Amino acid sequence: MSGRLEGKVALVTGAGNGMGEAISRLFAAEGAAVALTDMSPRGEEVAEEIRRAGGTAEFWQMNVTDEPGVEAVFAAVFERFGALNVLINNAGISGPTAAVEDVDLEDWKTVFTVNVGGPFLCTKHAIPYLRRTPGMTSIVNTSSIYGLIGNADVPIYHTTKGAVRMMSKTDAITYAPEGIRVNSVMPGTILTPLNLEKGKLLPGGVDAYLEKMRAEHPLGVIGDPEDVAYAMLYLASDESKFVTGTEIVVDGGYTAQ
């Protein structure tokens, strides 16, 4: 029995750890050739482990805010694999926890440049190769439950995720006539390095943050990166061929309350 992504080529940003790493490993296990990209060279370790497990993976070091670098990597990936079926825009940063009145403009710009500008640039430079790849293709963006609801703990980060959600919908409508689907995944609290770093900055540190978040989720647990990876897998696969311009919420019931 073939994998759910057999024969497809997927590029994943932020693939060196957390959700990006889980997505890359799952996609490779399901038959995709995976192009892992990350600013951290740890992405090469992940790619090597995927290859040792029998999967197909290559790593490119890439800063999603560097347009010439992004353009070069997408060209190299297409040259290496001869196709681009799936783009996963996952790379992101947390940013300051301060209220808006206390946030420096340069810090605001940095978070927006990474979290919104990154998916913009990667989508921009993926489109020509998605067009050249036969069949329906897919872009999946990592948004957040805070692209749906408000929260005061990391306000600039949350605002960027609202922008990513709307960008996904706009691009879905723009490229639907060409068979390019665009969706987003809205994770709740997931045990990733980014969330652990976020917890360190909040009152009480990581332990207090995790205890608080478990209590606020109806399922009483915090999600694993693999929980998000499986949602991404569905949206990347042909199983979701009639799904575009929408989102999957992976949050343990948090936003249902």
146 is catalytic: no
Q: Which two tokens stand for residue 40?
A: 């951290």
Of residues 225, 226, 245, 221, the one with CA closest to residue 235: 245
Total residue count of the chain as it appears in this document:
257
178: three-class secondary structure by DSSP: helix
203 contact partners, CB below 8 Å, separation of at least 6: none
Q: What pairs with residue 37 in β-bridges? A: 13, 60
Q: What pairs with residue 10 in β-bridges? A: 34, 86
Q: What CA–CA distance (Å, rounded) separates 46 from 73?
A: 18
Surface-to-core class of residue 113, CB atoms within 10 Å of its CB (0-12 exposed, 13-18 middle, 19+ buried)? middle
Question: In this structure, which amino acid lies at residue 8?
Answer: K
Q: Which of 157, 175, 209, 254 is catalytic?
A: 157
Helical pair 18-29 and 42-52, crossing angle rounded to 10 deg = 20
> Which residues does the annotation mark as catalytic?
157
